[in-house]
Amino acid sequence: MKMRKLGINGPEVSPISMGSRLIIDDPTTLEMVKKQTIQTLQYGIDSGINFLNTADFYGMGMSELIIGEAIKGRRDKAFISVKTGALRDHKGHFLGLDGRPNAIKNFCAYSLTRLGVDEIDLLQPSRIDPNVPIEETVGAIKDLIDEGKVRYLGLSEANAEQLIRAHKVHPVAALEIEYSLATRFIENEILPTARELGVSIVPYSVLSYGLLTGNLEFPLPKGDYRNMLPRFQEENRTHNLQMIEFLKDMAIQKNVSASQLALAWALHQGEDIIPIVGMSKPKRVDENIAALSIEFSAEEMNLLNTTFAIGAMKGDRYPAALQKMAAS
């Protein structure tokens, strides 16, 4: 597996990152999920995927505890990325952001304990707190780097201006942000700025919340969070699913899944693109690794880029209230 450099001065990491959000969503089956997740994480690490992605609020800290178990005896093979600063209640409902320096340092202390490590490899605010100057939030992470508690600075959902401001305080290694065939807005300004600064892009939702798998059945179950996403609502869905049919047809022609094709497209956007992919079982690890071998002809890439042009997918990424906290 060919590694990719995280940031201009950063370490080499695997070309894909193992996400850990969905694997701990059901607390009623915690022990079963925990066992399967540890097995999958260890299988991924042993298969060459060293980039592990989590957040201190995933499962109210349970994700970090599980990763801590999984990396025992494998710490030198794991590069751990942690998002922090998003506040949740005991049911996981979003309450807001806290990017105050003392809060960031406090969150980091708890993450170190839950992970069972002395140093977090990449720490990033989950979103940019509008009530705290980004220089102060990033300055706190710089302090943690100077203290040996964090190795590299990352950002999440920052726009081009915020990225530049943060980079002046301390070099930013990576920007975690939504990027996929369905969501390409970063190509306008954010991606060029990141490349000018030497910042890697770590895309999340590279399958657009499952839309690019081509496997979703509508209507989605009641309570499914995707029902509130504009892209999944009826007025936009018919148009968007027609685009997905094109992706499925090309996948059949290439004898791969639509998911693998969408991941491969992201991987082909540059060596500075390192997508996060959820992997709930070892089989998924193998499928995602197989996507690394998918090649595109110039015609195929042109067809994908034309069909999934910037803005072609109908509907915003989030409802209006949440879209305000996301980069654009």
Q: Where do the structural domains in the chain lie, given as residue ranges?
A: 4-207+261-281+289-294
pLDDT at 93: 78
Beta bridge partners of 120: 150
Q: Is 43 among the catalytic positions?
A: no
Q: How far apart are CA 145 and CA 328, in angstroms?
A: 29
DSSP 310: T
Q: What is the mean pLDDT of residues 124-133?
A: 96
Confidence of residue 29 (pLDDT cuts 50, 70, 90): confident
- The full DSSP string for 243-276 is HHHHHHHHHHHHTS-HHHHHHHHHHTT-TTB--E
Residue 113 has pLDDT above 90, yes or no: yes
Task: Over range 306-318, report the average pLDDT.
Answer: 94
- Answer yes or no: are the C-beta atoms of 44 and 76 closer than 8 Å: no
Residue 44 main-chain phi, psi, to 5 deg? -65, -45
Backbone φ and ψ for 292, nearest 5 degrees, come out as -65, -20
Asked if 12 contacts 3 with a C-beta cutoff of 8 angstroms, the reply is: yes
pLDDT score of 24 more than 60: no
**pLDDT band of 319, cuts 50, 70, 90:** confident
| pLDDT per position as a tens digit, 170-207 | 999 999 999 999 999 999 999 999 999 999 999 999 99
Both structure tokens of 38: 């540890």
This prediction has a pTM of 0.95
Q: What percent of the chain has pLDDT over 90?
A: 84
Dihedral (CA of 74, 75, 77, 78) sign: positive
- Give me the residue label for tokens 């029902």: 227
Strand partners, 18: 52, 277
Q: Is the pLDDT of residue 280 over 70?
A: yes
**Measured distance CA(284)–CA(277) in Å, rounded:** 9
Residue 101's pLDDT band (cuts 50, 70, 90): very high
pLDDT value of position 27: 61
Tell me the mean pLDDT in the region 123-145. Answer: 98
pLDDT at 25: 53
Average pLDDT value for residue range 61-72 = 94
> Rounded mean pLDDT of 50-78?
94
Instruction: Enumerate residues 6+ apart whose C-beta is below 8 A from 184.
Output: 308, 309, 310
The pLDDT assigned to 43 comes to: 98
**Predicted pLDDT at 26:** 57
Average pLDDT score, the chain? 94
| CATH architecture for segment(s) 4-207+261-281+289-294 | Alpha-Beta Barrel (3.20)
- 43, 58, 179, 204: which is the annotated catalytic residue? 58
